[in-house]
Structure 1
């Protein structure tokens, strides 16, 4: 079987590329490739496919540009048989015990296997621990298709690096790591990705190495943020402003620029568990990575406890207080609520019979209700508060003046109003001048 003409046939319009999974990663990939070649975009979520087909981008990654895209959006898996290059970009969450949940990847592998044709290259982008692509995905595709990997079809891995909500670091200008099962597949995979990756591709020698790249780079970031969170807790006990400490530290040329915060989302808050779980199967127990995860997973409760302490010191009765939380998405200016650590703040407050009122214009209200049992309230319908927790740095919140913030509170003395600035959005001098009681991470 000759796999050397896939790139040429894609460019010539004789073959199609398919993307399996049209979320925050898959949909931008499909749209970008469609600017150059014929693309099929497949997802099992029929509502999502219908929205895309009607020019609606609920992820806000592409926006109105989706209306002009030539992607053939479909929920019909048989359409995959028309493609000779298939990219799998489905989510890889963790179970409640933090072990990898590979059901989406396994399901996608079955779908691909049932519809693959000879002469096809399949590339997985889903974040997995080293070995999943070859040890789990290949056998499933072979069993479903009756076709032999390496003979009838070939496989590769290229970790996704799309950053949801980031409109600066986009798919074309982020270097793409690519790998293949052999030299032939590697060359063809690299050529195909080079169609859209203007920053260039970086080839690694094998699939397991490429799988490791993704979980290691996100684990590194997780550990660095965990260190900053520890520093924030230490500074809090010392009554030192963390943000000022970091501003001073960052004047040094080799400072890394990390800040404390809530570490959620579908990558940094999850990927380290894929790495540590794989290591434990080989008899190695993580000394640093899991401790970093423990610190970061504790920050929501830490913020909630700080808010309660401030309310008590302001003379409030927390159980009777009206607490407003601004933001529930896992990061600023993004509608993605997956693995949101703001929910940890909410749950901690609920432990004390405090039922916070949450507002976030970026988030999907139905998703917040379904996933977390949170009823979102429109900003202009919020009641007056005793305590306001600004949990996410959306531009709408970042741009608010202290005068505008004070309008959110009840008509009580300023020193009885509690403002919790999780992301250090507001200037210290302005906070002090406002007269409100404030705390920031």
Structure 2
């Protein structure tokens, strides 16, 4: 009898979390006792800090290492510069924060959590991974297991990290040290999905190492662990998670462009389609961040190295990268509808960050939106209460505005719907704007009828 896909996946999940590698366990005997282990987290960012604190709260001896002495000093002074956990949990921890790499030699497990961005050519940039591996190699002790958590394309742990450690330490992989891969699944600013609440994928170079890592992570993750059959499987799974999201959003973004040409409201079309039981609910919008725009290009790079150039992945990226231009076009059409000449218009953009309630603009598509509006000579100012004005001005090359300063603007683009913007009385705001203002609601979060009654020309994707 054929099984439905969902049933098949449920069995696969059960195999991974509960029963996977039963034959390996016979080799590894039983899960080892890791309670007395020392864990060193290399890289104290939004991934490394929650990881270090989670293990610390389970009673492990934790070393938190970072190359930035200023960041280490903040942690030592009971401050959380990542703003992911808060100062109190840092103060309550017993973590040994240090910028001294010799502390790595104390560790039984070294967890590497460094950034993996793209370079100027949109190719994977592994400089941070290589540098971290070199540092670990110089100071690692024998019998240590080194785990990479950073997002990479399949093969990096075994083909890049392991050889660097072998060369720098003089140890042999599989005999004197081990490697594993356990991808991070955290989303900055998302308090609804903590480390403890997301199933942790674990993988390793040997059956015994796999069981050790499963026992280690399972002690800190309430949702349990999934034993991947190989390191490369785990690496591919991580990038697939965000490739899927990127492609689904790209579909909705392309649908938004189609609806704009057809004179249809995209949200109304999605609402109607969502009445079918197997419809997946995604919405159009700007796609920024450290994961969704990046991970597809990591997977595509790994695929091309293996001899296959994917098409759908690149096409999805092309659609999503076009959206700032589409939002600019929607805005210009709104100006035209009310008789405002775009080159004479002043526009207030609410939100600079790549997602709500996060103060990070490094990968925000709002910057591309400002540039696209600039092609129409629209004069833009950006307001973001969770990002410093100087940071916005330097990165975007545009004027900034404070929340509450709405005079002399001809319209608003709600680009990043921070909670602070939800409390605005847009009817009163309209009184400060020039006549016949436009309101472009990128994520479609505002009350359309309320905005319309306030006198705006309303648009959404």
Q: With structure 1 as the length reference, what TM-score do the two structures score?
A: 0.93
Aligned partners of 2:380 and 2:399 also within 8 Å: no
Alpha-carbon distance between aligned partners in 2 of 1:82 and 1:100, rounded to the nearest angstrom? 31
Alpha-carbon distance between aligned partners in 1 of 2:372 and 2:214, rounded to the nearest angstrom? 47
Structure 1 residue 40, shift from structure 2 partner: 1.2
Structure 1 residue 6, shift from structure 2 partner: 11
* CA root-mean-square deviation: 2.1
Residue in 1 that maps onto 2:456: 436
Q: Pick one of 33, 37, 49 that aligns with 1:27.
A: 49
Whether 2:136 is the aligned partner of 1:112: answer: yes
Residue by residue, what CA displacement relative to the aligned partner does 1:94-113 show, whole Å, maximum 9, x if unpaired? 11221111111111111111
Secondary structure (helix, strand or coil) at the match of 1:8 reads coil
Alpha-carbon distance between aligned partners in 1 of 2:30 and 2:43, rounded to the nearest angstrom? 25
Whether 2:437 is the aligned partner of 1:417: answer: yes
Residue by residue, what CA displacement relative to the aligned partner does 1:363-414 show, whole Å, maximum 9, x if unpaired? 244544554445644314555411211101211223434324425523x2xx
Alpha-carbon distance between aligned partners in 1 of 2:158 and 2:178, rounded to the nearest angstrom? 11
Alpha-carbon distance between aligned partners in 1 of 2:407 and 2:142, rounded to the nearest angstrom? 62
Whether 2:73 is the aligned partner of 1:53: answer: no
Residue in 1 that maps onto 2:253: 229
Aligned partners of 1:323 and 1:386 also within 8 Å: yes
Whether 2:68 is the aligned partner of 1:38: answer: no
Aligned partners of 1:60 and 1:335 also within 8 Å: no
Residue by residue, what CA displacement relative to the aligned partner does 1:42-86 show, whole Å, maximum 9, x if unpaired? 112222222222233233211233232222222221211121111
Aligned partners of 1:6 and 1:84 also within 8 Å: no
Q: Residues 368 and 303 of structure 1: is their aligned pair in 2 closer, same or farther, counting only changes over 3 Å?
A: same
Residue in 2 that maps onto 1:167: 191
Secondary structure (helix, strand or coil) at the match of 2:33 reads helix
Aligned partners of 1:6 and 1:85 also within 8 Å: no
In the alignment of these two chains, the number of paired residues is: 432
Q: Pick one of 201, 206, 209 that aligns with 2:230.
A: 206
Alpha-carbon distance between aligned partners in 2 of 1:68 and 1:85, rounded to the nearest angstrom? 23
Aligned partners of 2:353 and 2:416 also within 8 Å: yes
Alpha-carbon distance between aligned partners in 1 of 2:309 and 2:30, rounded to the nearest angstrom? 45
Residue in 2 that maps onto 1:76: 100
Aligned partners of 2:32 and 2:211 also within 8 Å: no
Q: With structure 2 as the length reference, what TM-score do the two structures score?
A: 0.89
Alpha-carbon distance between aligned partners in 1 of 2:49 and 2:225, rounded to the nearest angstrom? 20
Alpha-carbon distance between aligned partners in 2 of 1:188 and 1:358, rounded to the nearest angstrom? 50
Q: Residues 28 and 365 of structure 1: is their aligned pair in 2 closer, same or farther, counting only changes over 3 Å?
A: farther
Aligned partners of 1:398 and 1:425 also within 8 Å: no
Residue in 2 that maps onto 1:100: 124
Residue by residue, what CA displacement relative to the aligned partner does 1:211-245 show, whole Å, maximum 9, x if unpaired? 00011111011000000001111112222221222
Aligned partners of 1:335 and 1:363 also within 8 Å: yes
Residue in 1 that maps onto 2:375: 351
Whether 2:135 is the aligned partner of 1:135: answer: no
Structure 1 residue 163, shift from structure 2 partner: 1.4
Residue by residue, what CA displacement relative to the aligned partner does 1:107-157 show, whole Å, maximum 9, x if unpaired? 111111111111111100100000011111111111111221111110000
Whether 2:447 is the aligned partner of 1:427: answer: yes
Q: Residues 361 and 345 of structure 1: is their aligned pair in 2 closer, same or farther, counting only changes over 3 Å?
A: same
Structure 1 residue 316, shift from structure 2 partner: 2.0
- Structure 2 gaps of 5+ residues are 1-27
Whether 2:348 is the aligned partner of 1:324: answer: yes
Residue in 1 that maps onto 2:40: 18
